[in-house]
Amino acid sequence: MLANAMAHPEVLAAVQGEHTWTFGRFASDVRRLSAGMLAQGIRPGDRIVLQLGNCVPALLACYAGLAIGAIVVPLDPAFKIAEMKRLLDVLQPSLYLAAPELDRLLEDSIPSFLPAGRRFTVEAAHKDGRSGTWQTLLANDDPDVFSFTHDPDAHAILIATSGATGDPKLVTHTQKTLLHTVELAIAFGWNRNVKAVCHAPLYRPLGAYALVMCMSLGVPCILAECSQFEPGPVLDAIERHRCTRVAAPPLEIAKLIRAQREAPRKVDCLSSCMVFGDSAAPELFDDFERVFGTPLHNLVAMSEAIGCLYLGTNNRSVRAVPGLAKLVDEHGAPTPEGDAGELVVRGENLFKGYWKSPGVVDDPKRDGWYHTGDMMRQTEDGEWSYEIRRSDVIVRAGQRLSPVEIARVLMTHPAVADAAVAGVTDPFLGQRVVGFIELVDPSRPCDTNDILGHAAHQLADYKVPEVLAVVDMIPRNGVGKVSRRVLAAMAAQFEIRVGDLE
In a domain, 5, yes or no: no
Same domain for 466 and 398: yes
Same domain for 125 and 195: no
10 to each of 4, 6, 14, 22, 218, how far by Cα in Å? 10, 9, 12, 5, 11
Same domain for 307 and 203: yes
Average of per-residue pLDDT values in the chain: 85
In a domain, 171, yes or no: yes
In a domain, 8, yes or no: no
Same domain for 236 and 98: no
Nearest to 75 by CA among 196, 178, 157, 154: 157
Q: What is the CATH number of the domain that holds 440?
A: 3.30.300.30
In a domain, 7, yes or no: no
Residues 339 and 1: their CA atoms lie apart, in Å, by 44
Same domain for 436 and 355: no
Decide which of 176, 211, 241 is a domain's last residue. Answer: 176
Decide which of 152, 176, 200 is a domain's last residue. Answer: 176
Same domain for 492 and 450: yes
Same domain for 131 and 35: yes
Same domain for 454 and 398: yes
In a domain, 254, yes or no: yes
Per DSSP bridges, beta strands 384-389 and 370-378 are antiparallel
Same domain for 289 and 151: no
Residues 345 and 180: their CA atoms lie apart, in Å, by 14
Work out the number of other CB atoms within 10 angstroms of the CB of residue 9. 15
Decide which of 349, 374, 390 is a domain's last residue. Answer: 390
Q: Does residue 209 sit in helix, strand or coil?
A: helix
Q: Which residues pair with 272 in a beta bridge?
A: 245
In a domain, 129, yes or no: yes
Query: Domain containing 33: what range?
Result: 15-176
Sign of the C-alpha dihedral computed for residues 379, 382, 385 and 390 taken in this order: positive
Q: What is the CATH number of the domain that holds 66?
A: 3.40.50.980
Number of structural domains in the chain: 3
Same domain for 367 and 399: no
Q: 12-65, pLDDT tens digit by residue?
A: 999 998 899 999 999 999 999 999 999 889 999 999 999 998 999 999 999 999
In a domain, 10, yes or no: no
pLDDT in 10s for each residue of the chain, 502 residues: 999 999 999 999 999 988 999 999 999 999 999 999 998 899 999 999 999 989 999 999 999 999 999 999 999 887 777 778 888 889 999 999 987 777 666 666 665 667 767 888 886 433 444 456 788 888 776 655 556 667 889 999 999 875 444 567 899 999 999 999 999 888 878 888 989 999 989 988 889 999 999 999 999 999 998 877 899 999 999 999 999 999 998 878 988 999 999 999 999 999 999 988 666 778 889 999 999 999 999 888 888 988 888 888 888 888 888 899 999 988 889 888 888 899 999 999 999 999 999 989 999 999 999 998 888 888 877 888 887 777 777 878 767 788 888 998 999 999 999 999 998 887 667 788 999 999 999 999 899 999 999 999 988 888 999 999 999 999 887 666 788 788 888 888 875 444 444 4
Half-sphere exposure of 436 (CA within 13 A, CB side): 23
In a domain, 2, yes or no: no
Q: What is the CATH number of the domain that holds 348?
A: 3.40.50.12780
Same domain for 410 and 369: no
Residues 154, 157, 159, CA angle at the centre, nearest 5°? Answer: 140
Same domain for 212 and 130: no
